[in-house]
Amino acid sequence: MTDAFLLVLAALAFGAMMLPRLRRSALWRATVTPLASIIGSGFLVVAPLLADVAGPWAPVAMLGIVALAHAIGWVMRFNICHAEQGLSGAALALQRLANVALTVAYVISVAFYIRLLASFALSLSPLDSPLNETLLATAVLALIGLIGWARGLHGLEMMETVSVSLKLAIILALLAGLALFDAGQRDWIGGLEPGEMDALTRVRMLAGMLLVVQGFETSRYLGAAYPAGLRARSMRLAQIGSGAIYVVFMLLMLPLLQNLQSGPPDETAIITLSGLVAPVLPLMLILAAFMSQLSAAIADTVGAGGLAEEETRGRLRARPAYPLLIVLAIALIWAFDLFQVISIASRAFAFYYMAQALIAAHQSRGGPRRAGFLAVAAGMALIAAFALPVE
């Protein structure tokens, strides 16, 4: 009965999100890209990570991470409305340096997401091997680049819409299943204890988990398709929706996390534990994991294409930029161990956010708002220098 209920719930939710009226909504289309990137590859792994770092306080820690992300989103929304045009001098130089860092981060992230997808897809098959994983990742990346070149932003958005809708439908079913499971539990946190580590390491790991909810900045680079006000609204909507999902998920996961096995946490830990809630959930979460990697990679490709168009002042349009960026991502997966270079992307994202906060402070007129921007910049500088990347 539980399996049937969760499958029907997911099917109804997916159907509702694929209704033509919603898919034609400009606000929804603009929201899909940041939402795809925020609820990406880190969604399933964040629960065991936070359980290890914060124990029963994991939902509070998640709330803090979401609040910090909202502070950065506040910076980004200000810049969308006040700092996309007319920069000069040091602010313009900082913007260009930040865009270079973000481009590097996006290329690494796209390669990492799809390489992880390929590894996960082949892990349970007889074809599992490093070469086959690289070949599959190359094929998926080539498909993304081809669709981006042939159909542009809206072609990639259609891929995003399907993958994000399916992922969100499964997450809704997961939350419903967890709520039913939790209703029968007497002790939510009794057996949940944090791992052994010093206080400084905990703080550094929590700072690194900011990158789990990274991705809202992609709204900044959709200017060729959507006006500034709509992009700011869509970013806020994506952050509020994803933030609520993350916090509720962590709260509902507490009773289940007591069954975690010791050792390094990964995505498969939550997939395995979900079988205690309903037998069908592991299969649904495997599909959600695929969609998470795919949608996050597409979202970062979209962001990188818009960034390239903006930085070249339209000389390189986003449409031909997509396959170029994909070629760079393919080169990365063949040339490097992505698990060794992903930390570069993490620090590049933090540096980018720091630069955006400094630009916002430069563009503001002083007062409490400027002080807030400078505080965000200082926090991002510390994270870029000292955080332990969660990837």
Identify the CATH number of the domain in which residue 101 sits: 1.20.1740.10
pLDDT tens, N- to C-terminus, the chain (391 residues): 889 999 999 999 999 999 999 999 999 999 999 999 999 867 878 888 898 899 889 999 999 999 999 999 999 999 999 998 888 899 999 999 999 999 999 999 999 889 888 887 787 678 888 899 999 999 999 999 999 999 888 889 889 999 999 999 999 999 999 999 998 877 777 667 888 889 999 999 999 888 889 999 999 999 888 999 999 999 999 999 999 999 999 999 988 888 776 655 555 678 888 898 999 998 898 888 888 889 999 999 999 999 999 888 888 998 999 999 999 999 999 998 877 788 888 899 999 999 999 999 999 977 889 999 999 999 999 999 999 876 5
Which pLDDT score, from 0 to 100, does residue 119 have? Answer: 80
Estimate the crossing angle of helix 338-363 against helix 367-386, to 10 degrees.
Answer: 160
Q: How far apart are CA 244 and CA 250, in angstroms?
A: 10
Run of H or E including 165: helix 130-183
Whole-angstrom Cα distance, residue 68 to residue 197?
23
Q: Phi/psi at 277 (nearest 5 deg)? A: -85, -50
For residue 53, the enclosing domain spans 2-386
| 79 HSE (CA, 13 A, CB side) | 28
What total of structural domains would you count in the chain? Answer: 1
Give residue 135's pLDDT: 95
Q: Tell which phi-psi region holds residue 7, choosing left (phi > 0), alpha (psi between -120 and 50) or beta.
A: alpha
Q: What is the pLDDT of residue 353?
A: 97
Residue 118 falls inside a structural domain: yes
- What is the chain's percent helix, strand, coil content, to nearest 5? 80, 0, 20
pTM: 0.92
Is 391 inside a domain boundary?
Answer: no
* Burial class of residue 233 (count of CB atoms within 10 Å of its CB; 0-12, 13-18, 19+): middle
* Domain-embedded: residue 7: yes
* Token pair of 151 as six digits: 């159909």
Amino acid 388: pLDDT? 83
Residue 283 falls inside a structural domain: yes
Q: Which of 100, 50, 28 is nearest to 212 (CA)?
A: 50
Do residues 191 and 31 lie in contact, with contact meaning Cβ atoms separated by under 8 Å?
A: no
Separation in Å, CA 276 to CA 2, 187, 259, 317 = 12, 16, 10, 49
Angle separating helix axes 58-82 and 199-208, nearest 10 degrees: 40
Per-residue confidence (pLDDT) for residue 376, from 0 to 100: 97
Burial (CB < 10 A; 0-12, 13-18, 19+), residue 35, is buried
pLDDT at 310: 87
- Domain-embedded: residue 67: yes
Within a domain: 47 = yes
Distance between CA atoms of 266 and 285, rounded to whole angstroms? 13
Structure tokens at 141: 């990346």
Q: Is residue 378 part of a domain?
A: yes
